[in-house]
A and B are shown apart, each in its own frame.
Chain A
């Protein structure tokens, strides 16, 4: 008995595995940046700035996906929700000044939360599997985006578009990265540090055990969808910042890329496991990879094949580690 209890207090191997979980992704990013500098010695602070700016919408899409996946679901409407807030912000802010556009951002956030809430309610009440439910609501949001802005257009005041540009604090700390960290922290920390986070992790980890512990599983998952919608709204506005316009079909890329970022970032698709640092770094890596392939002079069409292969390999290796841990 005492042996059994002692076994559970943790061994050095467990500590190492835990450290690996926290440090793995930052180390992978550092190694990738080092490799990038090796193939392209001119890679400097300007490239870092464009990397962070380019990764901003995907990082928020990854955050949105991570919240839902941790709660035990999957959100295939993320691309469409990003498109809606992209065209909504670009059409609302076209003739606004900077202060008005900040106020309008709140409108876009509320619209995002509303879309997320509807996603969550459809999943909770219809009991349709998340994949099907969010695929269909994704069609609806895609249609809404086209209703708001039929063809690419709109815009926002220059000051608003330049929020993420440049590096005001330190050349190596791009503003886009500051915005990314601030926005995701503002969404994630209130969840993580409160009872809501506990409920979301519990609902994703083992819905039956959570239900028996007195958790309202469907409510927890609906809340996760609402936060996902808010993150998508920020992601759509970030897309407005990086492209300068609204485009109703621009979101398509983000749905599957967010799933890839979440998986690479160590969030289990089975739910209940993972955090926010991994998916966000994975979003940076997924943005860096095509840049490196361009530096190497590889045909962009091959680039996509190589990128896909790398994702499969990373996911397989992650799966292998998970399998070995289960066997122990």
Chain B
């Protein structure tokens, strides 16, 4: 079997978006009848590679062959005609059409879909139901049934089991195994090591846009984690913990059993006064929803948020801001007024406290803004329009706004994404300084080494639950990554 040419062969594929090199040289080889896992940490280039295979993007360089023939798809429709079909994390089902119409849309014969739905145990869904009225988890199975019914040569499953109950996941695995036994291949993308070991034969690991290894999956969890980490792992583990255990005050922010749809399922933790609590997670494990719920941007379905011991009613960001919970969101431009000056942007949040009615107290405003700008060392050469600042300086303006307005807990969502190293260091130092003043910080970062540099303690989210908690001194990259893949179960159980 190994002598046969691979069904799908990708060599040296590269893709650049503006200044970002998402893929530098990705290789992938999928044999006929194989289940192949595609793995990598955040930003390793998995989703870009998948989108190139399915024709959503075109590659800048490299080659792809399907059954020995060179191919380059220009649209998902073309890839579909060649027998490559994918099932995404958010189902590609059009909400205003009925289930049956969605099948017709992809030109899939209804009787085959019905057979696949029977295999998946969801045959009781009425095909005349409008997709909008169907449960999210079932929609994904309908999407899978539709993909199976089109008899693909290669089926791509992107986090297919996320948010699926265990019994449905079992059925999915059974159906996927049957599908393979008919000689078709599966590319499986998942963060769940257990599933990969159970379902897949081999795994390809990407790091920083490069394929760094191909390994059989059986008993290779450690190998895979080490491949994902690369040589940085040694460096990270030897770095000393930067500071002694901080003597903490009482709780500044307590979150209890917070739930939001499928994204958050009973998250509880606390941030103490004078503490920086790090949050680590892979993409889409509920971190966005967690920050949004605490900041009043989204309304949680259940659970409690307490600030300084008081239960909060969070219906609007203003409720959170009044309680001293302020958000620095992932997308800086969301919270800035790009055409206005640094002065106005910084003063915006402070207006409420300066004077509600009548003219703005200009002197007071200027004094506070100057204080915040100096403190953050914002480069004010382009201060007339915030949009002309660099990313790092924009980020500082967002933080400066809250320094000027005053807060109790700063909710920082990935504040250093796409920022130069010098500014990153300033931001870490600032977090430290905020904490030393007795305030607190909740910091999500997609760059795991930052947890040790900036935090006192870390929690890890996996599938909407807390899968690990550790002091920053122990939060090396390997340990965080294991927890982020749900591999540390004992600790999660101990927390619950």
Q: Which residues of A contact B (CB under 8 A)?
A: 1-2, 4-10, 14, 195, 198-199, 201-202, 204-206, 208-216, 272-273
Interface members, chain B 238-274 (any A CB < 8 Å): none
Contacts of A216 in B (CB 8 A): 75, 77
Nearest chain A CB to B369's CB is how many angstroms away? 36
Pick the residue among A6, A8, A9, A201 that contacts B94 (CB under 8 A).
Answer: A201
Contacts of B94 in A (CB 8 A): 201-202, 205-206, 209-210, 213, 272
Do B101 and A272 touch across chains, with their CB atoms under 8 A apart?
Answer: no
Min CB distance, B58 to chain A, in Å? 15
Instruction: Tell me which residues across on chain B come within 8 A of A201, comparing CB atoms.
Output: 94, 96-97, 101
**A8 B126 Cβ-Cβ under 8 A:** yes
Q: Is the CB of A214 within 8 A of B76?
A: yes
A residues within 8 A CB of B86? 212
State how many angstroms separate the Cβ of B493 from the closest Cβ of chain A: 26
Quick one: closest B residue to A18, CB to CB?
Answer: B130
Q: Is A202 in contact with B77, judged by CB distance below 8 angstroms?
A: no
Q: A210-B94, A213-B93 are in contact. List 10 more A-B contacts (CB 8 A).
A: A2-B124, A8-B133, A8-B134, A9-B126, A195-B104, A210-B105, A211-B76, A213-B76, A213-B94, A216-B77
Residue in A2, A6, A213 whose beta carbon sits within 8 Å of that of B105 in the complex: A213
Q: What is the number of residues of chain B that contact chain A, defined by CB distance less than 8 Å?
A: 34
Whether a CB of chain A sits under 8 angstroms from the CB of B70 is no
Task: Give Cα distance in the complex from A195 to B101, angstroms.
Answer: 10
Contacts of B93 in A (CB 8 A): 209, 213
Whether B95 pairs with A198 at a CB distance below 8 angstroms is no
Residues in A neighbouring B126, C-beta threshold 8 A: 8-10
8 closest cross-chain pairs (CB), A and B: A212-B92, A5-B124, A214-B77, A205-B96, A272-B96, A202-B94, A209-B92, A213-B106
Q: Is the CB of A205 within 8 A of B95?
A: yes
In whole angstroms, how far apart are the Cα atoms of A58 and B151 in the complex?
48
Cross-interface CB contact of A212 among B76, B107, B124, B167, cutoff 8 Å: B76
Which residues of chain A have C-beta atoms less than 8 A from B88's C-beta? 212
B223 within 8 A of A: no
Contact across chains for A6 and B101 when beta carbons are under 8 A apart = no
Complex: how many Å from CA A273 to CA B80?
27
Is the CB–CB distance between B95 and A215 below 8 Å? no
Which A residue sits closest to B150, measured CB to CB? A214
* B residues less than 8 Å from A14 (CB atoms): 133
Is B125 at the interface (CB under 8 A from chain A)?
Answer: yes
- Is B215 engaged at the interface, CB distance under 8 Å to the other chain? no
Q: Does B335 contact A (CB under 8 A)?
A: no
- CB pair B138 A5 closer than 8 Å: yes
Cα A133 to Cα B103 with chains together (Å): 33
Q: Are A1 and B167 in contact (CB under 8 A)?
A: yes
Residues of A close to B122: CB separation below 8 A = 1, 5
Chain B residue with the shortest CB-CB distance to A210: B94
- What residues on A are CB-neighbors of B92 within 8 Å? 208-210, 212-213
A214 to B168, CA, bound (A): 27
Interchain Cβ contacts under 8 Å between A and B, 22 examples:
A1-B121, A1-B167, A5-B122, A5-B125, A5-B138, A8-B129, A9-B125, A198-B101, A198-B104, A201-B101, A202-B105, A205-B95, A209-B94, A211-B75, A212-B86, A213-B93, A213-B102, A214-B105, A215-B77, A216-B75, A216-B77, A272-B95
- Name B78's closest neighbour in chain A (CB-CB): A214
Q: How far is the CB of A200 from chain B (nearest CB, A)?
A: 11
A8 vs B132: C-alpha distance when bound (angstroms): 10
Residues in B neighbouring A206, C-beta threshold 8 A: 94-96
List the B side residues contacting A205 at CB < 8 Å.
94-97
Whole-angstrom CA separation of A205 from B102 in the bound complex: 12
* Closest partner residue, chain B, to A205 (CB atom): B96
Which residues of B149-206 have CB atoms within 8 Å of chain A's CB atoms?
165, 167-168
C-alpha gap A14/B93 in the complex (Å): 21
B391 at interface by CB-CB < 8 Å: no
Chain B residues positioned under 8 Å from A1 (CB to CB): 121-122, 165, 167-168
Cβ of B467 to closest chain A Cβ, rounded Å:
26
Q: Residue on A with the closest CB to B54?
A: A212
* Chain B contacts for A198, CB-based, 8 A: 97, 101, 104-105
A75 to B124, CA, bound (A): 41
Chain B residue at minimum C-beta to C-beta distance from A207: B94
Across the two chains, which residue of chain B brings its CB closest to A5?
B124
Q: Once the chains bind, are B96 and A10 in contact (CB under 8 Å)?
A: no
CB-based contact B97/A10 at 8 Å? no
- What residues of A have a CB within 8 angstroms of the CB of B76 in the complex? 211-214
Residue of A whose beta carbon sits closest to that of B135: A4
Within the assembled complex, what's the spacing in Å between the Cα atoms of A212 and B125? Answer: 22
Chain B residue at minimum C-beta to C-beta distance from A271: B96
A4 near B138 (CB under 8 angstroms)?
Answer: yes
CA distance A210 to B76 in the complex (A): 10
